[in-house]
């Protein structure tokens, strides 16, 4: 891959969901390019297709039409195992509802993706400690999600997302369930992650968070309408 090559590029992406009352078009011929280490914010009203676009970029969902390449690979040609591998090693996810595994501690939540990726036990231990210190939770490693605040849970989710040193961090309303101060702390953390060389795509309603991104995209009715 040349330095000028995009990290991920979607062309003419359309996503329709079949419904009893007729197909719903969530994404309508949208094109997007994310370069390595870029910080992009996507804003728009609810139901405009932001999350759908994020799911496509994260290889979680597949477009009804259009093409998507990730690090030069055509995602449509990948099977579920290969897409899982990309999600595990090259993409990190942060969600509004944190999506931590409730039965695991903060440490175990961060360690899990590394174990799946085949990282050795000693490396996992080192990396997990580093990450939890990075997000400021070194003293909460044995706490389960139910014992953490919303901000702390989101920081664990960020640490988990960074566990396998992904090239791209996708965040869907990461401050949606947090108060303003805690939201700012999470946004600060994203700034640090970006400064460390990870590309970030954040979908948000929060203008403050969006303002920190290097590039801002606005969506409406399944289309990218402004940049």
Partner 1 sequence: MTKFIIAALAAALSVVSAAATDTIPAVLVSRQLAEGARLHVGDIVTIALDAQGHRGKRFRVAGIYEPTPDPMKFTARRIEARMHLPDLIDVAGAPADAESPDAVDAINIRLADPNDTRAFSASVMARAPGIFARSTARAEDGSDPFAVLDRFHFAIAIVTVFGSTAFLLALMVMRAEERRETVGIVRLIGISQRSILLEVLVEGLLIATAGAIFGVLFALATQGAINRFFQWRYDTALVFVRVTTRIALESVALAVPLGIAAGLVGSWTLLRRDVVALVRR
Contact set with partner 1 (CB under 8 A) = 55, 60-61, 80-81, 84-89, 91, 93, 95, 99-102, 112-113, 116, 160-161
By C-beta, is 60 or 141 nearer to partner 1?
Answer: 60
Report, in Å, the least distance between residue 181 CB and partner 1: 26
Let me know: does 107 contact 130? Beta carbons within 8 Å: no
Q: Which is nearer to partner 1, 51 or 212 (CB)?
A: 51
* β-strand pairing of 215-220 with 223-226: antiparallel
Dist CA 193 CA 60 (whole Å): 22
Cα angle 225, 48, 84 (rounded to 5 degrees) comes to 105
86-110 exposure pattern, b = at least 16 Cβ within 10 A, e = fewer: bbbbbbbbbbbebebeeebbbbbbb
The nearer residue to partner 1, 78 or 184, going by C-beta atoms, is: 78
Nearest distance in Å: CB 27, partner 1: 13
Nearer to partner 1, 39 or 95 (CB): 95
Minimum Å gap between C-beta 96 and partner 1 is 11
Least distance in angstroms from the C-beta of 161 to partner 1 = 8
């Amino acid at each position: 891959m040349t330095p000028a090559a995009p990290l991920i590029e979607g062309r003419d992406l359309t996503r329709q969901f079949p419904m009893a009352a007729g197909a719903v078009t969530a994404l309508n011929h949208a094109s997007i390019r994310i370069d390595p280490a870029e910080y992009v914010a996507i804003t728009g009203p609810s139901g405009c297709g932001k999350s759908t676009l994020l799911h496509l970029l994260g290889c979680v969902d597949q477009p009804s039409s259009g093409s998507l390449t990730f690090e030069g690979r055509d995602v449509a040609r990948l099977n579920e195992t290969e897409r899982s591998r990309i999600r595990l090693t090259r993409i990190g996810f942060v969600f509004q509802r944190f999506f931590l595994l409730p039965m695991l501690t903060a440490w175990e939540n961060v360690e899990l993706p590394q174990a799946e990726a085949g990282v050795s036990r000693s490396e996992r231990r080192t990396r997990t400690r580093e990450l939890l210190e990075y997000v400021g939770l070194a003293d909460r490693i044995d706490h389960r999600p139910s014992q953490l605040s919303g901000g702390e849970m989101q920081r664990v989710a960020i640490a988990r997302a960074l566990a396998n040193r992904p090239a791209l961090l996708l965040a869907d309303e990461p401050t949606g369930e947090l108060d303003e101060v805690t939201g700012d702390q999470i946004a600060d953390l994203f700034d640090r992650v970006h400064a460390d060389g990870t590309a970030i795509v954040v979908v948000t309603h929060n203008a403050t968070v969006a303002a920190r991104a290097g590039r801002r995209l606005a969506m409406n009715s399944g289309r990218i309408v402004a940049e």
